[in-house]
Structure 1
Amino acid sequence: MFERLPSNWMLAIKSIGYWFWLIPVLGIPLSHYWSLNSQYANAWPWLVVLVVFGVIPLLDFIIGRDPANPDETVQVPQMEQQGYYRLLSLATVPALLGMLGWSGWVFINHDVWSWVGQLGWILSVGTVTGAIGITVAHEFIHKDPQLEQNAGGLLLAAVCYGGFKIEHVRGHHVHVSTPEDASSSRYGQSLYAFLPHAYKHNFLNAWRLEAERLKRKNLPTLHWRNELIVWYAVSALFLLSFSLAFGWLGALFFIAQSIVAFTLLEIVNYVEHYGLHRRKLDNGRYERTNPTHSWNSNYLLTNLFLFHLQRHSDHHSYAKRRYQVLRHFEDSPQLPNGYAGMIVLALFPPLWRAVMDPRVRAYYAGEEHQLTGSQLI
């Protein structure tokens, strides 16, 4: 639909379209409002989940891909200096935290819902804190300004996944698409084999990386300058606040939406790197990360919702590039749908493998030996 528009037009459209993050955030209070006095009260809390994972994948096909890359010599320097894009992403922080606190109040006080409605509410809120909150946090933790670093840590603490701030930057980006990376899924590995391994090893690796950093400063692991202790303490404060405000059910709600959010993150990790790996060189090192080591998805709609996260190939090659100037590379391996649709597909391993395994094999055609030994981490 937009593939023939001039690049300048597309960049102007996208500068406004990045505000689409407000749609799922506002979808939470709207779904609650529409459930009031409704004979389908238990259905409305599922609204955000159904739209994100049912409607958006279809709209991705209808709306199509985004052809626009900014000009490197003129537009990229200008766009990276524009405070508008930074303020746009920072605006998500108070909106998401406010939505989270209000959602906890609704969970406790809206007694019309049965467990079915409550489950839908937790999944919807967790989808927003995961899809929007962690995505924006991911953008922030790759940037140098302390304001953005702290904003990213705060959003991750709100879903009890502060270790991502350490492990993702210092672990995943170093070892991506190698057997050393727990966030890079292997060819033939199911989502359900990937998830427990990712939870465990990413948590442990974050502690290892932070302990090594502190050791270089001649400090013990259990020190107030341990960043993990800081962000897990913030998560504990969130939990305490929900407990004091809403009782044990409030604490349950906070923990449950956190699990949904960081599980969504790890499913995205599974999708982003499935079956791809960096070749080992004769000197024993892995080749440098380039745009061929991550799956790219250039569907316009989901890229607007996710601040260009789906241009993941460029992100892994140039991690500090801001979201508004990330590029699409035609020679990167391409996903057949946006992340929302691919997440649904990943939940069904036989369907996932039927769609993705031929793409992986085609990508390594002529060097199928690259797939051997890449089955498991």
Structure 2
Amino acid sequence: MNSRLSSLLSLIFPITSLLFLNSESHSAPEALLWTMPFWLVLAADWLSPSMKPLSVKNSPEGFFNGLLYGLAFLQFINLAMMIRFIGELTWLTTQDIMTSVINLLVVRFLVGTSSCCSGIIVAHELIHRGRPLQRWLGRLLLMSVCYDHFAVAHKRGHHSHIGTPHDITTAQRDESFKAYWRRVAKEHFLYAWRCEKRRLDKKSRGFLLNTVSNKVLQGLLVELAVVGFIYAEFGLLCAVMFLYQAYSAVRMLEAVNYFQHWGLIEEETHHAIAWVSDSWFSNLLLLGLPCHICHHQNATVQFQDLVYYEQGPKMPYGYFVTNLWVRLSNTSFRQNAALQLESYTRRGD
């Protein structure tokens, strides 16, 4: 399949969310039916053909930049449509309440998933770009899920300390996802704040200029302003659902971070820096994210030019299946991952 055409698969979740939200409240069975694309994606990821190691590519930027901007546009449109949709739900009768609650659950499911795919993953691509406007768009996308500090923590922390005990994002072998989630939710913010403080202290421009120039504070203030505006203009329920979709998207992201580097400490795993996933389907829907080793070797390589490398322990499934596995049956995941890692380490002896 043509790489440009196949890359349009990344539009599945934002387009599904847009179509769901671009109408009035759905009946309960109809609303639940709108989750079908997710389950089809899960099945496709389970059965996905494997990627093969590739040589370095040099694709034209125009189409793929347009795809990124289109996904970013859909992210902001979907959030606006979500607020409108929620504001039009009715709560007069018992039947109305039941139908509206089911619609809210589907909204959270669809928009949360879309916000991870068309929000955070697009942001991850853009914050590594060289052009200031692209990096700012990446930050705005992160603000749409109340996670702007991730840009600082990821670039200055994760990329600098990958594969070492100092990397917040690397999950320890005995660390459950629940414990990992509690840890990184706090430590990513604190690390980003300390990084910004050190950067600004070196400039010695005074308290006021340092405060205004603090990227973490900028993001936090914008996020609070957005939530406050939604609450003031559209009510508590819309503000809560905005935060809920952000929570859902960020939790999905951190599940990816969890399994991408689970247990990989340099001196113990022969310098493996990421788990390998050869899912062709995951790679297309997630803008090259499974080519994570290549990304860490050179973070400036654009997603369409990332190549698949095999030097690392291999996941048995693609990113969508593994994400669900990590969150729903974490003990089973850790048992399997420990066996895979032990086998990989023995092969390296």
Same topology, TM > 0.5: yes
1:248 to 228, 236, 243: 236
Partner of 1:107: 86
Instruction: Please state how far the C-alpha of 1:37 moved relative to its aligned partner.
Output: 5.8
1:224 partner SS: helix
Instruction: Please state how far the C-alpha of 1:330 moved relative to its aligned partner.
Output: 2.2
The answer as to 2:4 corresponding to 1:15 is yes
In structure 2, relative to structure 1, the CA distance for the partners of 1:212 and 1:257 (3 Å cut) is same
The one-letter code of the counterpart of 2:260 is E
In structure 2, relative to structure 1, the CA distance for the partners of 1:176 and 1:56 (3 Å cut) is same
The answer for unaligned runs of 5 or more in structure 1 is 1-9, 281-285, 369-377
Partner of 1:132: 118
Partner of 1:84: 63
The answer as to 2:45 corresponding to 1:60 is yes
Partner of 1:151: 137
8 Å CA contact 1:56, 1:302 repeated in 2 = no
| TM-score, structure 2 normalization | 0.90
1:298 to 278, 281, 285: 278
CA offsets per residue over residues 11-52 of structure 1, 9 Å max, x none?
A: xx222222222211111133356885645145246x1xx643
Partner of 2:93: none
Alignment RMSD, CA only?
A: 2.4
Partners of 2:264 and 2:245 in 1: CA distance: 31
Partner of 1:227: 215
The one-letter code of the counterpart of 1:59 is A
CA offsets per residue over residues 182-238 of structure 1, 9 Å max, x none?
A: 211111211111100010111100000011110111144951111112222221232
2:324 partner SS: helix
Instruction: Please state how far the C-alpha of 1:132 moved relative to its aligned partner.
Output: 2.3
The answer as to 2:310 corresponding to 1:330 is yes
Partners of 2:238 and 2:229 in 1: CA distance: 9
Partners of 1:64 and 1:243 in 2: CA distance: 46
The one-letter code of the counterpart of 1:56 is V
Partners of 1:207 and 1:196 in 2: CA distance: 18
8 Å CA contact 2:64, 2:304 repeated in 1 = yes
Partner of 2:105: 119
8 Å CA contact 1:35, 1:42 repeated in 2 = no
2:76 to 87, 97, 107: 97
8 Å CA contact 2:157, 2:168 repeated in 1 = no
Identity over the aligned pairs, expressed in percent? 26
1:352 to 333, 336, 339: 333
Partners of 2:102 and 2:25 in 1: CA distance: 15
2:213 partner SS: coil
Partners of 1:37 and 1:279 in 2: CA distance: 54
Instruction: Please state how far the C-alpha of 1:259 moved relative to its aligned partner.
Output: 0.9
Partner of 2:293: 313
The one-letter code of the counterpart of 2:45 is D
The answer as to 2:268 corresponding to 1:273 is no
The one-letter code of the counterpart of 1:357 is A
Partners of 1:217 and 1:296 in 2: CA distance: 41
8 Å CA contact 2:21, 2:82 repeated in 1 = no
Answer with 17-26 or 97-106: which moved more: 17-26
2:317 partner SS: coil
8 Å CA contact 2:277, 2:315 repeated in 1 = yes
The one-letter code of the counterpart of 1:337 is Y
The answer as to 2:346 corresponding to 1:365 is yes
Answer with 219-228 or 293-302: which moved more: 219-228
Partners of 1:295 and 1:202 in 2: CA distance: 21
Partners of 1:239 and 1:20 in 2: CA distance: 31
8 Å CA contact 1:34, 1:44 repeated in 2 = no
In structure 2, relative to structure 1, the CA distance for the partners of 1:140 and 1:128 (3 Å cut) is same
Instruction: Please state how far the C-alpha of 1:296 moved relative to its aligned partner.
Output: 2.1
CA offsets per residue over residues 75-116 of structure 1, 9 Å max, x none?
A: 42xx2x532222221221221101111011112212343423
Partners of 1:174 and 1:108 in 2: CA distance: 44
